[in-house]
Amino acid sequence: MIDEQQQDLQLFFDELDKQKITPVIFQPFFNEIKEKIKLSGSIETFSQSEDLTEEDIEFMISLGGDGTLLDTITMVRDKLIAIVGINFGRLGFLAGIGRNEVAAAVKAIAKRTHIVDKRSLIHLDADTPLFGDIPYALNEFAIHKRDVAPMIKIHTYVNGEFLNTYWADGLIVATPTGSTGYSLSCNGPIIFPDSGNFVITPVAPHNLNVRPIVVPDDNIISFEVESRDENIICALDSRREIINRFVQLAVRKEKFAAHLVRLSENNFLQTLRNKLTWGLDKRN
């Protein structure tokens, strides 16, 4: 842990103490910081999702980058626990609260002046068990060829009706939240978080006339994959599994949503301008 991070963490826990908020700390994280951070009072810890209850835990605070917040989603699951993303990482598109806003964020939580945004999730169904009991993602579902394989053919259907066969390295189905992530890097469109859509984005398509397409998120999108390799890669956010290419895959909107906290003065348009440096062109 570098000195700057240690100072920020100390400020964070000091502010919790000042606002009389009792932290319950993830056990591996507590083991890492207990010799470096001064913690007042008795400390409670948790080790797994089952340890978290809505009656005892109101907020889950993610200290890190967007990857840390995505891991937090897998901990909270379908519980009505709001997630606070404080960016101790780099870009921080999802973890939108800066490290310079730690005191303001803790105060907003204590005084209930924050805003909670509901973010839709994407759910994966398959004819073989995949991803244990967390077959959902906040950002995207993706199919990829393996590194040693040539491009694959992904036959794609919307509510059972044939849409297209994608000759590509892979295919992404992103939520509105995920539209500013991997999908955006593959030339997918940016979608407002409350738009109620999925975007289907090919990865390195062989046909140049193939473009991303936006579909309502009440549709079921299913796939059949052809590959010269026996296996393909299936991904939910940063979690990946290598599966047989004959596995039947389909995605739909998850029945529950993620609840992300933002400070009242921050909104999606401000995040776009700040993170993508829009409006900073010197010609303006």
Sign of the dihedral defined by the CA atoms of residues 221, 226, 227, 229, in that order: positive
For residue 131, with 0-12 CB atoms within 10 Å meaning exposed, 13-18 middle and 19 or more buried, which class applies? Answer: middle
Label residue 166 exposed, middle or buried (CB < 10 Å: 0-12, 13-18, 19+).
Answer: buried
What kind and span of H or E run contains 231? strand 231-236
Q: How far is CA 184 from the centre of its chain?
A: 14
Nearest to 214 by CA among 175, 268, 269, 251: 175
Residues annotated catalytic, as ranges = 66
Residue 175 structure tokens: 């939520």
